[in-house]
Each structure stands twice: as structure tokens, then as C-alpha cells.
Amino acid sequence: MIFHGLTKACFPEKARLTRVPIRKGVLTVQLRQIHNKSFPIQESSHSHIGESVRNLCGRLVFDYTESVIQGELFVRDTMLGVTTPLQTHQRSSDLPRAHPCTHFADSKSCRAHEYSMCTAYLNNCFCLPGCDKRKGMTFLREWTHGLKAALLIALLAGGVLHNARAEDNGLERTPVLGWSSWSFLRKQPTADRMKAQALALHNSGLQEIGYAYINLDDFWYQCPGPQGPNVDAYGRWITDPSKFPPQGDTDGMKVVADYVHSLGMKFGIYVTPGISRQAVNRNTPIKGTSYTAAQIAEPSVKENNYNCKGMVRIDYSKPGAHEYTNSWVDMLAAWGVDYIKIDGMTDSNAADVKAWSDAVRQSGRPMVLDVTQGDLTTAIAPTLMKYANQWEFAPDVECYRCEKGGSSYPLTSWADVAKRFNYVAEWQPYAGPGAFNDYDSLEVGNGSNDGLTPIERQTQISLWALGAAPLILGVDLTHLDPTDLKYLENSAVLAVDQDSIAAKRVLNTGNQQVFAKTEPEPNGGTIVGLFNTGGKAEEVSISASTVGLPENESGYSLHDLWTGETKRTSSTISAVVPSHGVVLYRIRGL
């Protein structure tokens, strides 16, 4: 269950209810607007509920109560997909206050140069002063991409709505949206190339709908050979300065992270489990302790590092082992990292998953923990659900065998995408808010260079969305295909992904597969994907009861999320689906 709010009667412009899952102890203010501004708010550690919001002029205009729930507050601008960092102000009693409306649905009681805001779950409305009448009353009337206004104040208090299965590290109760360097840049990431991709995402319009992460994959650190990555004085990898030059005393990783943050986005980085043999051979000290690398290493057990090699296992029962991983994460936090991908993990790496999760917590910086496979099975799922935000367990989606002339194109193939259907079904029970199955990069954005037909691109997006998977683009963002961009900007399909519900496979017969999930009311419905994996068009049909719809004598409306068309049916959900295609419906009773 998710709190959500806004009453149309109390708001001066058209508005609609929206929903986002959030974490324990967080009050969220979510705004859609054209000004590309975020709204810093007050931080407190007291025990009551409260919030404060700044208007477009930059001054505080709303402060509801004296303090906030213990934990954190943040403002998320959904058009930018940006979560604004907390800012510390005076005690709220020293801040200017809004005053309540005289009636919950009465905006007329607000004075000139004010506008009203209502919170259905705080059971009140407030008059908020504007910089002037024009700005105060019209900043919520200006929209990008023809979208209607949407203001959400959401509260998750006391852990009642918390998904206890998932890692509760304060981040990503909805699937991550972003980009990764691996598919396109592959072995040649540089600071300039990363900045170019970040700027392209910023300018594309995708950031405005939530694509916020710029993730650097492998080949950022110094690797002299199979002896393992070069390490610093405390046994941690060293940034390759030829690819990521420092600026004075500022590490090259922090230089890139700072640039990404300047665009209002977040920065991710790649690591692998274990410790470099170089650290073990040099017996480097573990920062802040009297222990050394050789004391925590298990040199006889190799860890996966696919491109550099030379990593060995850490024995987390040894004193100093956790402190070593803590120092790693502390370094990443100091660089401004927001997302950690730890790759090459197997079922035997459960201790590493917990250690990295604990290290993120102790660092004090919220960071997504993404565990990706060397060879993962569902045996490790309970550990992943408890300690990670997302996990990837399928073979790489890239079509390495298809690439020509040293190019990373085509990025994937239908065969590589089609392998995911069984994974989506198998791993469905382990996903939920804050705990997501990662089906690898979304290879949609470069037209024919994607390696997929337009129909197959819609299929990949739909399958990932039905699985509530992270949507992490692997494409060249500096050369986005207009048709692909429209696919990615489809807000109706994106909402299916961001509901954080993993669909179940309810039909798997021959070339036909059907996945379905039901979203909570009042704005929900049943989402059904009819897939045809065969070589020619086929009619795919399934009963309403099989996809979880209750009996309804009036029938059902079927809204096609790709075409926008709506039709009615009495009891059967069906469509003629093209080869390798999908028909994606949102279904409601009439």
C-alpha cells in the first residue's frame, strides 16, 4: 500500500493522483514543472511529521509542522528525475509559515499572491505564498511534453508500509532509470566520453521523466596484468589517470562524479569482489586498523574479475575484513558515488553481498547496491533480497558474436532478448519495492544499431517493464534515434515499470507467452502483456480470470499502451500479435 495525494477540487489547475513507493521514515514532495528546478527542504531528526518547500523564487514558502520524522526528507522533481540533497536550515519555528485553508476543498480562502496546496493524507490544505501573483499561481501551469500537472506528497511512517524483504538503505523503492557505459563504450571509457553521454542524457528529455543514473562500468582503474589491479596504500583500486585525469588533488573519479551531479544526475561505478593480489603481496595495511591485506585474504580462492583478473577471496570471519570493505566504500562515498555495481558474483559470495551492504550503510551516503552475476541462482535470492537493491543473473544481453569491425554494434539480438522470458518468470517471486530483478541493459536508442527491429524494441521494453526491472540504457546517447526516443518516453509503459510489481507468467504455450500483474487502486488496473515469440503473426488469447480479473458482467476496457487505442471485451483478452511482438494492455472493469 502506498500513500498518495492531491485533491483536484483544491488545486487551481488540472491534476491527477500519482503514486510512488517510498521508504520508511521519508516524506516526499514530488513536482512536475517546466522550470527544471529542484526544491531543497529542511532536514531534521525529530519525531513529528513535517515538511517545507521552496517556491521558484528560492525562498521558503511552506512549513507545515515543527519537525520531521526521524530519518531524512527529500524533494524529487519527476520531470528531471532528480532527488535534491537535504539542506540544513534553522529550526522550523524560525521559518516563515503557510496558513491553512478554511476548508479542505476551499482555495478561495487564500489571499492574493497565494495558491493552495492540499494533502489528502495530512487531511488539510495550505495557502502558500508566491513570489508574485503570476509566479505563485502559474508555476504549476507550465508543462513539458504536454504532460498534466502532478503534485504528490507521500508519507511512509513507522515501517507499516515497508517491504521488509528488501534492502532498506534509503534508496530506490522504484526501479532505477539510467545509462551504463558497458554496451557502447565497452573497454574505452574516458572522462570526456562519460561527460558527453551524461550531457546527452540531460539534453534528451529522458532525465525529465526519471532517467537519472550515469553508470561507469569496467576499465576505469589501473590494470597492469593478471597480478591484479594496482592498489593504493590501503589496498584499494587506483583510478587510471590516462582515462580519468585528476584535477589537482581531486581524483579523476570525483571529477566525473561532480560533473554528473552538476547536471542533476547520479553517478555509478563498477567493482568486483575480493582483494587484489597486489595488495596481498604487498601486505598493505587496512585503513584505520592494525590489520593487513594478507590477514584477511584467502589466496587459494580466485574471485571473478573478467578483464583484469588477479582478485582473491576475502574471508569475512577474519578481523579487519569488514573494515577493508568499509574503507573501499568510504573512498567511493568521498568521490560522490551513488550506485555500486559489484560484478562477477556467484552463490558463494553471500558474505560479500552482506559486507558491501553493511559498508554502504556505515558510510553515511545512500548508494544503490547492484549485484551482478558470475553465476547466480535463486539459491542466493534470500540474501540478495535482504541486502541488495537489485541483481542481475542472466548472461549478458550484448551480442558479442554479432559485432563487426571493432564496433560494439549491433548492441544485441532478438535471440539474446528472447532468453529473458524464462528468467522473468523464474525470478518473479523475489522482486518487490526496493528489490528488483535486473535483466541487463535496455538496448533501445540507436535504431538499427540496437540489433532489434522496432517491434522487437517494444517487446524488450515491455518485458522489462512487466518485470519491474531497472531500465538502464546501453546505447550511444549522443546519437538517439527519434523513434526509439518516443518508445522510451512512453509514459504509460514507463508507469508499468515504475509500479515496482513484477508480473507473473500466466501462459507459456508454444510461441505464446502472457505476463500479468495487478496494480492497487484507485489508479491501478491489471497489466497484461501478450507476447508472440514465433516467426509469424499469431492471435494470443487468454481468459480474464486467468490474468486475475474479477468477474464483471459489464465486461472490461482494454487500453493498448503502445497504440493508445481502447477496446472492450466481455471475458477474453486477445489480440493478433506480430512476430517477436507484444500487445500491452491496461485493463479495467467497466
Q: What residue ranges do the domains of the chain occupy?
A: 8-156, 177-502, 505-589
Q: How do residues 458-493 score in pLDDT, each as one tens digit?
A: 999 999 999 999 999 999 999 999 999 999 999 999
**Mean pLDDT confidence for 542-554:** 95
Of residues 29 and 15, more confidence is placed in 29
At 172 the pLDDT is 64
Q: Which residues pair with 375 in a beta bridge?
A: 346
At 527 the pLDDT is 98
Is 142 in contact with 34 (CB distance < 8 Å)?
Answer: yes
Whether domain 177-502 has CATH 3.40.30.10: no
At 249 the pLDDT is 97
At 207 the pLDDT is 97
Q: Is the pLDDT of residue 335 over 60?
A: yes
At 123 the pLDDT is 35
167: confidence class by pLDDT, cuts 50, 70, 90: low
170: confidence class by pLDDT, cuts 50, 70, 90: low
501: confidence class by pLDDT, cuts 50, 70, 90: very high
Q: How many CA atoms lie within 13 A of 282 on its CB side?
A: 18
In sign, the C-alpha dihedral spanning 310, 316, 317, 321 is positive
- Those residues with Cβ within 8 angstroms of residue 290's Cβ, 6 or more apart along the chain or in another chain: none
**Mean pLDDT confidence for 378-397:** 96
3-class SS at 492?
Answer: helix
At 246 the pLDDT is 98
In sign, the C-alpha dihedral spanning 104, 38, 330, 218 is positive
In sign, the C-alpha dihedral spanning 434, 436, 441, 446 is negative
At 175 the pLDDT is 97
Cα(118)–Cα(134) distance, integer angstroms: 20
One-letter amino acid of 566: T
Q: By 3-state DSSP, what share of the chain in percent is helix, strand and coil, each rounded to 5?
A: 25, 25, 45
Of residues 320 and 93, more confidence is placed in 320
At 169 the pLDDT is 64
At 51 the pLDDT is 32
**Mean pLDDT confidence for 203-215:** 97
Mean pLDDT over the full length of the chain: 78
**Mean pLDDT confidence for 408-413:** 98
At 375 the pLDDT is 86
Cα(140)–Cα(387) distance, integer angstroms: 39
Q: Is the pLDDT of residue 557 over 80?
A: yes
At 221 the pLDDT is 98
**Mean pLDDT confidence for 204-209:** 97
Cα(198)–Cα(190) distance, integer angstroms: 12
Instruction: Express as a percent the part of the chain with pLDDT over 70.
Output: 71
173: confidence class by pLDDT, cuts 50, 70, 90: confident
Of residues 476 and 124, more confidence is placed in 476
Where do runs of H (alpha helix) occur along 283-400? Answer: 293-296, 321-335, 350-363, 381-387
Cα(414)–Cα(533) distance, integer angstroms: 9
At 146 the pLDDT is 23
Is 557 in contact with 566 (CB distance < 8 Å)?
Answer: yes
At 524 the pLDDT is 79
- Those residues with Cβ within 8 angstroms of residue 104's Cβ, 6 or more apart along the chain or in another chain: 7, 10, 118, 123, 124, 125
Q: Is the pLDDT of residue 428 over 80?
A: yes
**Which range, of 155-164, 292-301, 392-401, averages the lowest pLDDT?**
155-164
For the domain covering 505-589, report its CATH number.
2.60.40.1180
> Left (φ > 0), alpha (ψ -120 to 50) or beta: where does 113 sit?
left
Query: Cα–Cα–Cα angle for 489, 522, 470, nearest 5°?
Result: 35
At 265 the pLDDT is 98
315: confidence class by pLDDT, cuts 50, 70, 90: very high
Instruction: Express as a percent the part of the chain with pLDDT over 90.
Output: 69
Q: Centre a 10 Å sphere on the Cβ of residue 422 and count the other Cβ atoms it contains.
A: 13
Q: Is the pLDDT of residue 22 over 90?
A: no
